[in-house]
Amino acid sequence: MPQALLSPDALGPTISVGEILVEIVATSIGEGFRTAQPLIGPYPSGAPAIFIDQCGRLGGRAAMIGAVGDDDFGRVNLDRLSADGVDVSGVAVDGAFPTGSAFVRYRADRTRDFVYNIATSAAARFGWSEAVDALVRQAGHLHVMGTALTLSSAREVIARALPIIKARGGTLSVDPNLRKELRRDAAVEDQFAELLRQADLLLPSGDELARAAGVEDEAAALARLFELGIKEIVLKRGADGASCFGCDGSRIDTAAFLVEEIDPTGAGDCFGGAYVACRRLGMARETALTYAAAAGARNVTIRGPMEGAGTRAELDAFIAATPRR
């Protein structure tokens, strides 16, 4: 397979569309939020925002489309994204609704409970505008997170942006990023299926591969997805590393880095952001996979969903200093 799977970075920025949130984290271990407990935050968050922040930190051209409230939580996000090289001209500031939020608590088994405020926040209140139009018309790549498809505003922007970006030679990556707390109805399922048919790169985690393909067996799932026209699938396996599969039958595996996990939220988003940025910057699959694994691993060592997103220099240092499984 040629190395140039995704459009080159020079064509225009990678654009991420969807929810921008603050995350507030319980410091106690347990289930849910039915008792008073200490909390820390706010941290800038939202899966599409974490993804694009890592793109920008790694040196790829990057831009975000979404909305925040005209409040401190919104400014936390805009300041972080801007500082990390992300174009926020496509982010609306809503004066009537607050910035979206996610409260997170870890259970003893390291799984998480989330309480979201997305649908009734600024995060869900954006659409096509002159600023969004200008951004899309000079974009080189679109990245879609499954979480964003639960927002009608994001679905509409994605549906309108994709043919424009494809027409100028741009490419598409999709991360299913399923969340049990977020509703997925028939409209979401239909658009997700259409995105799979147009995707150049798919970035599933664990059972999301089977969920996307509709079959459980890994080999059968890969075959079915490649039949749709997807060119490359990168399967994130957590502590078992990651695998990159090409539509030509090729496969590259990478081992996970050995780290002490502090906060796993955002690891998969940082992985994806690093992989897409590296591929668009012209790196080979094996190199991009190493940087992606490092980005995901480094992020879990620091509390906060995008606090551990690394620059290329930081990831080089992390790779050099960190053993692998």
Read off the tokens for 186. 């028939």
Confidence of residue 181 (pLDDT cuts 50, 70, 90): very low
Task: Mention every residue, 6+ apart, whose C-beta is less than 8 A from residue 306.
Answer: 43, 44, 45, 49, 50, 53, 54, 80, 266, 269, 270, 299
Residue 264 lies in a domain: yes
On the question of pLDDT at 232 being above 80, the answer is yes
Task: Determine the pLDDT at residue 177.
Answer: 83
SS3 for 61? coil
DSSP string covering 86-122: EEEEEEEEESSSPPEEEEEEE-TTS-EEEEEE-TTSG
Average pLDDT over residues 32-59: 96
Measured in degrees and rounded to the nearest 5, phi and psi for residue 47 equal -50, -45
Mean pLDDT of the chain: 94
Residue 117 lies in a domain: no
On the question of pLDDT at 200 being above 50, the answer is yes
Task: Determine the pLDDT at residue 111.
Answer: 86
Residue 116 lies in a domain: no
> pLDDT exceeding 70 applies to what percent of the chain?
97
Average pLDDT over residues 227-250: 96
Residue 142 lies in a domain: yes
Measured in degrees and rounded to the nearest 5, phi and psi for residue 136 equal -65, -35
Nearest CA-CA partner of 18 in 125, 97, 141:
125
Task: Determine the pLDDT at residue 1.
Answer: 40
Task: Mention every residue, 6+ apart, whose C-beta is less than 8 A from residue 233.
Answer: 201, 202, 203, 204, 209, 222, 225, 226, 244, 245
What is the pTM (predicted TM-score) of this model? 0.95
Average pLDDT over residues 197-221: 94
Residue 188 lies in a domain: yes
Nearest CA-CA partner of 165 in 192, 137, 133:
137
Task: Mention every residue, 6+ apart, whose C-beta is less than 8 A from residue 90.
Answer: 15, 63, 64, 65, 66, 129, 131, 132, 135
Exposed e or buried b for every residue in 148-171, given b needs 16+ CB within 10 A? bbbbebbbebbeebbeebeeeebb
Q: Total domain count for the chain?
A: 1
Exposed e or buried b for every residue in 173-207, given b needs 16+ CB within 10 A? bbbbbbbeebeeeeebeebbeebbebbbbbbbbee
Bridge partners of 102, per DSSP, are 23, 116
Read off the tokens for 292. 């992606």
Q: How many helices (H) and strands (E) does the chain have?
A: 10, 13
pLDDT digits (tens, 9 = 90+) for 257-279: 999 999 999 999 999 999 999 99
Which range is least confidently modeled, 143-152, 180-189, 224-233, 252-261? 180-189
On the question of pLDDT at 184 being above 70, the answer is no
Task: Mention every residue, 6+ apart, whose C-beta is less than 8 A from residue 207.
Answer: none
Task: Determine the pLDDT at residue 179.
Answer: 59
Read off the tokens for 155. 């679905």
Residue 215 lies in a domain: yes
Read off the tokens for 167. 């027409």
Residue 201 lies in a domain: yes
CATH no. for residue 153? Answer: 3.40.1190.20
Report yes or no: 102 and 21 within 8 Å, Cβ to Cβ. yes
Residue 1 lies in a domain: no
Query: Which range marks the domain in which residue 311 is found?
Result: 9-18+47-95+127-321
Q: Whole-angstrom Cα distance, residue 75 to residue 79?
A: 6
On the question of pLDDT at 18 being above 70, the answer is yes
- Within the chain, what is the greatest distance between any pair of CA atoms? 55
